[in-house]
Structure 1
Amino acid sequence: MNEFPILSSLLDNDFYKFTMQNAVIKLFPLVKAKYKFINRGKHSFPKNFSNSLKENLDKMAHLKLSKKERFFLEKNCPYLDTAYLDFLNKYQYNPKEVNISQKGKDIQIHIEGLWYRTILWEVPLMAIISELYYQLTGANRISNKKIILLTKKKLNKYKKLNIKIGEYGTRRRYSYQIHKLVLKFLKKEGSSSFIGSSNVHLSHILSIKPIGTHGHEWIMFHAAKYGYNIADKIAMKNWLNIYGKNLGIALSDTYTTPIFFKNFDQKLANIFEGIRHDSGDPISFTEETIKHYKKFKINPLQKKIIFSDNLNPYKVANISSFCKNKITPFFCIGTNFTNDVGPTSMNIVIKMVKAIPKKKWISVVKLSNVKEKSTGDKKMIFYAKKILQIP
């Protein structure tokens, strides 16, 4: 295995992890959380994989925010206040929060601790798992030259569609080096089409805009604390309390889209600049979104939909064609940019599974528009569906 750590920066993470961390510190500093690794793709891990993973996690404990990184955040993310940046200056990963074990070809990972601390583990841990997997299984990839040619071909298609695209591919990238290679090219050749990257570290070193808002765990926690029916609404209101009209994209599918729209009232629909689509049929979702805005006499062309669900050029072309002259689409592309290099990309996730919103652990669940993307305790999923009257 490479003696150098896979991660070399505290900011090698998705932007929305930092924005959520800031919000958690402000509103829920005493809450504890548990996360679990889910091997959706049933990947077989090689012998001693867990040991290599632990070695990389131990090295992460030495990562600290540099002065240049802090200046980058101050300049590009003014809504992250001084108090939070002071906290981040002192933050260090604690590998003791992560328990890793291996039995045969299966690995198990559990994360536990204060939510504001453990929230940063998910994305870099997945990136390390993915890169280590390809290293230790000896996966052969195409050459850097072919990767650039493939990226160029995709980018040219997006340019012809005259759309805006971003990069969301940290968590399942083939490697850090390929991620950097692709992003360099997107920055150089993307012109007005390329809007930024979710990876804060690479955004810093390549002078790219970091993009993103919040993830499903923000709403999952609110459901555990306030109930499923109003989780979306309170999560959005709390987000507005922290960020105002900054970072104004609402996430639509934590408890299915119909439940989201029940919570997305006229005031919220006006304040938020758009909605992120992350599961289910994108065309049906677009129709429902347009219908919802029109119900409140809001011009859909003044709003955005951020599409981020397993995108490729074919899907993007279909969606953008449907959205034309109806609503403004943006496309944030992940694995198809950072792990389209030959070997099958990994299908893995790390999800929050429990939280302590009051005095005891409560199982948290996500009810996606697609059954396979739902996560959490089966009994609690059944209970949530019953409350929300979801078949």
Structure 2
Amino acid sequence: MQQGVIKLFPHSMARYEFINRGKHIFPAGFADLLRKAVDNMANFCLTLEEKNYLAEICPYFEPTYLDFLQGYTYNPAEVIIEQHGNDLSVIIEGYWYRTILWEVPIMALISELFYYMNDSEAATSDEISTINKEKIEKYAKLGVTIAEFGTRRRHSYLVHRMVVKALEEYGSGTFVGTSNVHFAMRYNTKPIGTHAHEWFMFHAAKYGFKMSNSLGLEHWTAVYRGDLGIALTDTYTTDIFFEQFDKKFSKLFDGVRHDSGDAIEFAEKTISHYKQMGIDPLSKTIIFSDALNYDKVERIANFCKGKIGMSFGIGTDFTNDVGLVPLNIVIKMTAALPENQSWIPVVKLSDEKGKYTGDPKMIRLAKEILGIEESLKLI
């Protein structure tokens, strides 16, 4: 997404906010420790070895972007961290092409520091390796492919490293990659992932809700010319998305990603859509990624087999299955400032019925414009 933003929206700005969905209680001094960790990120830079790795394994990255990335440094001044009692506030603001890289590492830091400050005792390294060995072997018997998507809400860096190591060691033919490019390089597996909701949320701010999906897809194809061909459907509900996912996009994109709502209903809608477009659903793929565990994957796989291609991106169930309660936290774009415009609140209307994120007035406006009739439940 960063390469796309640099090419198409270099003057636009964005604001992100931390959302404590699980109402977790942060201990005294948490913000100070997080502040130190974020400030330390100013010392990070891309090494020449990493740059060469990206050039080889991700040929869709242009040399100019890789040169930019080599010179990129985090600016901690873009991050405001405050704590009021047990409540944590994190706001990120600046040029979108820069601030887009803050979400994942800050969420990982919040999660790891939370367990550290609470002195929470996790499973041992042997137990973690065994747990993930058994998981990937079960998925292998199910005959599905699995990617690891768990950086943001992982227990810790060390646990994450043990997880990817176990998946790579025991998951041959089943484990297909990780969204963490560092571990992909370290364990010689594929870096894998999709674009996120913020891509379409920004397009809604700049071009309007009715144009957000179609222009978001159009701009993605303009940048990647057929690479990175999985489309995220649920920024403004999948029903609205499929109205604009016409034959051109349906043929060009390799498939779609499911991230909210009932997975079987989504699969049925997707299969029906491709058939209406005259496309064999078995030539396309659904990437399922909504809070998955083995039972959910088994249910989905049993339905999809022989009907449509499928793969699964599993996050927290891999990287935070250590005997502790995983944090229910997110960092979301909350406002955008497109070039030559003013700050505009951005929203997400997921496929969880009535479960929306963002400014209530803007949510009502989006529902009215898009013709969505549901009760309002903010998260």
Using structure 1 for the length normalisation, give the TM-score.
Answer: 0.94
Counterpart amino acid of residue 265 in structure 1: D
Is 2:222 the partner of 1:241?
A: yes
Deviation at residue 359 of structure 1 after TM alignment: 2.0
Aligned equivalents of 1:42, 1:63: Cα separation in 2: 31
Aligned to 2:171: 190
Aligned to 1:170: 151
Aligned to 1:207: 188
Deviation at residue 199 of structure 1 after TM alignment: 0.2
Could you tell me which of 350, 369, 377 is aligned with 1:387?
Answer: 369
Is 2:138 the partner of 1:157?
A: yes
Aligned equivalents of 1:230, 1:304: Cα separation in 2: 25
Q: Give the ranges of 4+ consecutive aligned residues of structure 1 lying more than 4 Å apart after TM superposition.
A: none
Counterpart amino acid of residue 291 in structure 1: S
Is 2:79 the partner of 1:98?
A: yes
Helix, strand or coil: the match of 1:35?
strand
Structure 1's 234 and 317: CA in aligned 2 closer, same or farther, altered over 3 A?
A: same
Deviation at residue 206 of structure 1 after TM alignment: 1.4
| Alignment map for 1:286-305 (pairs within 5 Å) | 286-305=267-286
| Alignment map for 1:131-150 (pairs within 5 Å) | 131-150=112-131
Is 2:351 the partner of 1:366?
A: no
Helix, strand or coil: the match of 1:92?
coil
Is 2:353 the partner of 1:376?
A: no
Deviation at residue 374 of structure 1 after TM alignment: 2.3
Helix, strand or coil: the match of 2:298?
helix
Counterpart amino acid of residue 104 in structure 2: V
Aligned equivalents of 1:26, 1:184: Cα separation in 2: 35
Aligned to 2:161: 180
Q: Deviations over 1:125-161 (max 9, x none)?
A: 0000000000001111111111112112211110011
Counterpart amino acid of residue 341 in structure 2: K
The question of whether the paired residues in 1 share the 8 Å contact of 2:261 and 2:353 is answered with no
Aligned equivalents of 2:8, 2:155: Cα separation in 1: 36
Structure 1's 371 and 94: CA in aligned 2 closer, same or farther, altered over 3 A?
A: farther
Aligned equivalents of 2:77, 2:123: Cα separation in 1: 37
Is 2:57 the partner of 1:76?
A: yes
Aligned equivalents of 1:118, 1:297: Cα separation in 2: 41
Aligned equivalents of 2:368, 2:342: Cα separation in 1: 22
| Alignment map for 1:44-83 (pairs within 5 Å) | 44-83=25-64
Aligned equivalents of 2:295, 2:116: Cα separation in 1: 30
Is 2:256 the partner of 1:257?
A: no
Could you tell me which of 325, 333, 337 is aligned with 2:306?
Answer: 325
| Alignment map for 1:256-295 (pairs within 5 Å) | 256-295=237-276
Q: Deviations over 1:309-356 (max 9, x none)?
A: 000000000000000100011000000000011110000000001111
Aligned equivalents of 2:194, 2:63: Cα separation in 1: 19
Aligned to 2:9: 28
Aligned equivalents of 1:136, 1:183: Cα separation in 2: 25
Q: Give ranges in structure 1 of 5+ residues lacking alignment.
A: 1-19
Counterpart amino acid of residue 262 in structure 1: E
Deviation at residue 213 of structure 1 after TM alignment: 2.4
Residues 50-59 or 204-213, more deviating: 204-213
Is 2:350 the partner of 1:353?
A: no
Q: How many residues align?
A: 372
Using structure 2 for the length normalisation, give the TM-score.
Answer: 0.97
**Amino-acid identity (%):** 54
Counterpart amino acid of residue 317 in structure 2: N
Residues 89-98 or 223-232, more deviating: 223-232
Helix, strand or coil: the match of 1:230?
helix
Aligned equivalents of 1:261, 1:78: Cα separation in 2: 30
Deviation at residue 212 of structure 1 after TM alignment: 1.2
Aligned equivalents of 2:213, 2:321: Cα separation in 1: 34
Structure 1's 55 and 363: CA in aligned 2 closer, same or farther, altered over 3 A?
A: same
Deviation at residue 373 of structure 1 after TM alignment: 5.3
Residues 143-152 or 187-196, more deviating: 143-152
Counterpart amino acid of residue 366 in structure 1: K
Counterpart amino acid of residue 179 in structure 2: S
Aligned to 1:12: none
Aligned to 2:377: none
Structure 1's 198 and 372: CA in aligned 2 closer, same or farther, altered over 3 A?
A: farther
The question of whether the paired residues in 1 share the 8 Å contact of 2:137 and 2:170 is answered with no
